[in-house]
Amino acid sequence: MLIAAPALLRDGKVTGPGVVEISDGVITALHERAPADHPVITLDRGILAPGLIDLHLNGAFGVDCACATQADMAHLSRALAARGVTSFLATIITAPIPDLLASSARLAAMTPVADGADLLGLHWEGPFIAPSRRGAHRLENLAIPDSAMIDHLLHDPALRRVLRLVTLAPELPGGLAAIARLTEAGCTVALGHSDADAAMSLRAIDAGASLVTHVFNAMRGLHHRDPGLIGVALSDSRLWPCFIADLVHVDPIALRIGVAAAGSRAIAVTDSISLAGLPEGSTQLFGGAPAWVRDGAARRDDGALCGAIITLDQAVRRLIAQGIAPAAALAAASETPAAALGLSDRGRIAPGLRADLVWLDDDFSLCETWIKGQPVLGRAPQPATPRQNRTPTEQIHAHAAALDALPSDQIIALLLNQEQRSVHALSTSIADLAMLADRMATTIAAGHRVITLGAGTSGRLAVLDAVECGPTFSLPDDVLVPILAGGPGAVTGAVEGAEDDSAAALAALHTHHVTADDLVLGIAASGNTEFVRAGLAGARALGCITAAISNNPDGKILAVADIAVILHSGAEILAGSTRLSAGTAQKIALNALSTTAMIRLGKVYGPYMVDMRPTNAKLHARACAIVAALADCSMDQAQAALAASGDRIKIAVIMQRLGLTAAAAQARLETAGGNLRTVIGAVIIQPRSVSSSIA
């Protein structure tokens, strides 16, 4: 099975596009493009990430892990998978030791749920916690982790099989020795529910502790002369700090500070209890006392917090909503918990690992979950071979099935939402666009041309961009040369068959005297327009550097391009109507390319177009405002300098700023290769509106 995605989370970064190959539940290979003649599940938007892993889950959807039956756990596992969670630690809080051992034995005997989230094992959050920091835990059930107690636990075979994580307060009698013994036995230890100071926290790390349970909650506060466990958790690279990301247990500001300080060590957890997923006002027993869904969390009768009511996919969205980078938020819920718990078989998109994956939409809502390569929700597209696959712009948009039955405001909202997605998708093409912009600037600086080849909407957009660059940057008409299939008449009307005319493309290259020194750029939404493909192939035969912009990663024009730019704009609201999202993405890409190239050529100073031609009253007023801003002079002085310079903004600025004649200013600018910044240096630009004197 192959899954093609426009973006993937890999090693803490969003990369892509890419294709994940899966066999027998395992990722076997990663590809830039899908191998030929293999069925491909093509995701037209969003991001493919590793399945989410929750290390702190007391329960959800009415199920309490402490007393769950096999049927309860199957329900919980399937419900979690439907929220993108593919692995979790069942967490049980403080209870009498016999009850904890009974819960552990019950969980150890459970049969795995093939179509649900994988139960990794057990997290004991207690009973070895500080009485003063016990939170919702019952005081009478707390215990001391002395040698006899640890002996008793480690000799329980069921517990040894299932226990993966223990939260422990290291300052308790026997705490440091217990950490050492537990870690030696293969159990990970987290510091939490603790009043430990920094010195004790550091000793606990030396003893083997490696995680911190819900940083900020149930521990002494952070003080600049007493940093405590919080300070150590945020600063010591040996610890993996976990944060409850419901925005209730931790204030959003504190959460942002904590995640920023922890960096790539930060882990997002839910600490959810059985009330998660249940409506406001629901109640259940938790830890031996009633708990209620109230004001966004689980609370006791007196309003005290006793757990969260979110799932991990919600935690990711809440982190992102607080300004945390999507890659960081997703890694904190997938890659990082896997690394912290030593899960070498999952948690990353890499060959040899379990194919536990989630597909998130552009707004990070869940589209699909795969557990060992098997879909959970059935929302992903059906596999299709390249022969069956339509190009992305020809595919049916997921939200357009009843488009004609929608009211106008919903149609417009749908169109605008898709436009936003197409713009967002451009971020994956930044590196290729930058490479092409630099090549354009180098070509123009050497006195050569950039030729664009296009048809239909794509070609007209290239014509528009080239025409606008003339007055905007004083660019001669023969520097950016657009060649449109069907000729000039195709700008305002359709020319039937023009886009399929390969001979016309070759003839146009000849007519425009294209040489090996020119850069030839082809643009086509489908990537398969024959006029563009043939033109690029002909240009390459002449020795030209060629580039291609396609909204289809399998477009034929990419094969004849030295620089390939893929715009992952996805399916159109109107299937095949590339004047919509594909056109928007292309226009932005063309604008970004030409503008960046002009900036590299010195035609811009700061935010100002200093090579603009003031060919009408509006542009003349704008030119005066630019001179006044850069020369720090009055509008009257700027107007006089412009007149003396022959309406050349750069010359006028140099004249006014350095007190030179027009001829002397021209000589100084030529010596600097036309770069205004080289002549006048850095100028403090005061905020002002260039248009203030235009209106």
The two three-digit tokens of residue 590, written as one number: 């063309």
Q: 173-182, 398-407, 512-521, 637-646 — which is least confidently predicted?
A: 398-407
CA-closest candidate to residue 374, choices 26, 20, 14, 10: 26
Helices (H), 208-267: 228-235, 252-262
Active site residue 468: yes
**Residue 410 neighbours by CB distance under 10 Å:** 13
Q: 538-547, 618-627, 676-685 — which is least confidently predicted?
A: 676-685
CA-closest candidate to residue 278, choices 61, 493, 436, 445: 61
The two three-digit tokens of residue 568, written as one number: 């992952």
pLDDT in tens, 464-494: 999 988 888 888 888 999 999 999 988 888 7
Inform me whether the pLDDT recorded for 389 exceeds 90: no
Higher local confidence (pLDDT), 417 or 520:
520
Sort 6 into a burial class: Cβ within 10 Å, 0-12 / 13-18 / 19+.
Answer: buried
Angle (deg, nearest 10), helices 502-511 and 530-541? 50
User: Does residue 152 belong to any structural domain of this protein?
Assistant: yes
Q: Give the domain extent around 612.
A: 605-693
Q: Phi and psi (nearest 5°) for 25?
A: 80, 5
- In the listed set 340, 367, 388, which residue is the last one of a domain according to the structure? 340
- Same domain membership, residue 516 and residue 483: yes
State how far the alpha carbon of 270 is from the alpha carbons of 119, 187, 343, 677, in Å. Answer: 16, 21, 19, 53
- In the listed set 600, 632, 653, which residue is the last one of a domain according to the structure? 600
Mean pLDDT of the chain: 92
- Same domain membership, residue 581 and residue 488: yes
State how far the alpha carbon of 305 is from the alpha carbons of 56, 134, 139, 174, 296, in Å. Answer: 16, 12, 16, 29, 10
Q: 54-58, 379-383, 443-447, 636-640 — which is least confidently predicted?
A: 379-383
pLDDT at position 331 is 98
* Range ranked top by mean pLDDT from 54-63, 546-555, 611-620: 54-63
Which residues fall within 8 angstroms of residue 687, CB to CB, at 6 or more apart? Answer: none
CATH classification of the domain holding 149: 3.20.20.140
The two three-digit tokens of residue 488, written as one number: 């000039």
SS3 426: helix
- H/E stretch holding 565 reads strand 563-566
Q: Output the CA torsion sign for 365, 392, 594, 562.
A: positive
- For the chain, helix (H) and strand (E) counts, in that order, are 22, 31
Inform me whether the pLDDT recorded for 446 exceeds 50: yes
User: Does residue 404 belong to any structural domain of this protein?
Assistant: no
Q: 82-86, 186-190, 568-572 — which is least confidently predicted?
A: 568-572
Domain count, the chain: 4
Q: Phi and psi (nearest 5°) for 42?
A: -100, 115
User: What span, in angstroms and rounded, lies between the C-alpha atoms of 271 and 273?
Assistant: 7
pLDDT at position 84 is 98
CA-closest candidate to residue 163, choices 150, 174, 176, 175: 150
Parallel, antiparallel, or unpaired: how do β-strands 13-15 and 8-10 relate? antiparallel
Cα 147 to chain centroid distance, Å, stands at 48
CATH classification of the domain holding 489: 3.40.50.10490
Catalytic residue among 21, 171, 368, 499: 499
pLDDT at position 311 is 97
- H/E stretch holding 199 reads helix 198-207
* Length in residues, the chain: 695
The two three-digit tokens of residue 508, written as one number: 């146009």
Sort 82 into a burial class: Cβ within 10 Å, 0-12 / 13-18 / 19+.
Answer: middle
User: Does residue 440 belong to any structural domain of this protein?
Assistant: yes
| Stretch 119-123: mean pLDDT | 97
User: What span, in angstroms and rounded, lies between the C-alpha atoms of 354 and 372?
Assistant: 6
pLDDT at position 390 is 60
CA angle 311, 314, 320 (to 5 degrees): 145
User: What span, in angstroms and rounded, lies between the C-alpha atoms of 372 and 287?
Assistant: 34
CATH classification of the domain holding 667: 1.10.8.1080
Query: How many Cα neighbours within 13 Å face the side chain of 285?
Result: 6
- Same domain membership, residue 219 and residue 136: yes
Contacts 24+ apart (CB under 8 A), 187-190: 187/163, 188/164, 188/340, 188/341, 188/342, 189/165, 190/165, 190/166, 190/242
pLDDT in tens, 222-273: 999 999 999 999 999 999 999 999 999 999 999 999 999 999 999 999 999 9
**Residue 692 neighbours by CB distance under 10 Å:** 10
- Same domain membership, residue 558 and residue 441: yes
Task: Give strand pairing partners of 27.
Answer: 22
pLDDT in tens, 536-591: 999 999 999 999 999 888 889 999 999 999 988 877 878 777 788 888 889 999 99
Q: What is the pTM of this model?
A: 0.70
Amino acid at 78: R
Yes or no: say if 369 and 82 are a contact pair by the CB < 8 Å rule.
Answer: yes
- Same domain membership, residue 68 and residue 9: no
- Same domain membership, residue 251 and residue 175: yes
Catalytic residue among 468, 496, 572, 670: 468
Q: Phi and psi (nearest 5°) for 335?
A: -65, -45
- Same domain membership, residue 153 and residue 86: yes
- Same domain membership, residue 16 and residue 76: no
- Same domain membership, residue 62 and residue 35: no
User: What span, in angstroms and rounded, lies between the C-alpha atoms of 240 and 234?
Assistant: 9
User: What span, in angstroms and rounded, lies between the C-alpha atoms of 170 and 210?
Assistant: 12
User: Does residue 161 belong to any structural domain of this protein?
Assistant: yes
- Same domain membership, residue 57 and residue 45: no
User: Does residue 350 belong to any structural domain of this protein?
Assistant: no
pLDDT at position 422 is 73
- Same domain membership, residue 545 and residue 498: yes
User: What span, in angstroms and rounded, lies between the C-alpha atoms of 221 and 382?
Assistant: 52
The two three-digit tokens of residue 363, written as one number: 């707004």
The label of the residue with tokens 């075979």 reads 157
CATH classification of the domain holding 24: 2.30.40.10
Phi-psi region at 546: left, alpha or beta (left = phi > 0; alpha = psi -120 to 50) = beta
State how far the alpha carbon of 280 is from the alpha carbons of 64, 244, 248, 291, 318, in Å. Answer: 18, 20, 15, 12, 19
Yes or no: say if 263 and 288 are a contact pair by the CB < 8 Å rule.
Answer: no
User: Does residue 347 belong to any structural domain of this protein?
Assistant: no
Higher local confidence (pLDDT), 690 or 127:
127
pLDDT at position 695 is 38
- In the listed set 600, 631, 647, which residue is the last one of a domain according to the structure? 600
User: Does residue 327 belong to any structural domain of this protein?
Assistant: yes
pLDDT at position 692 is 44
Residue 413: band (very low, low, confident or very high) from pLDDT cuts 50, 70, 90:
confident
- Same domain membership, residue 620 and residue 487: no
User: Does residue 111 belong to any structural domain of this protein?
Assistant: yes
pLDDT at position 517 is 96
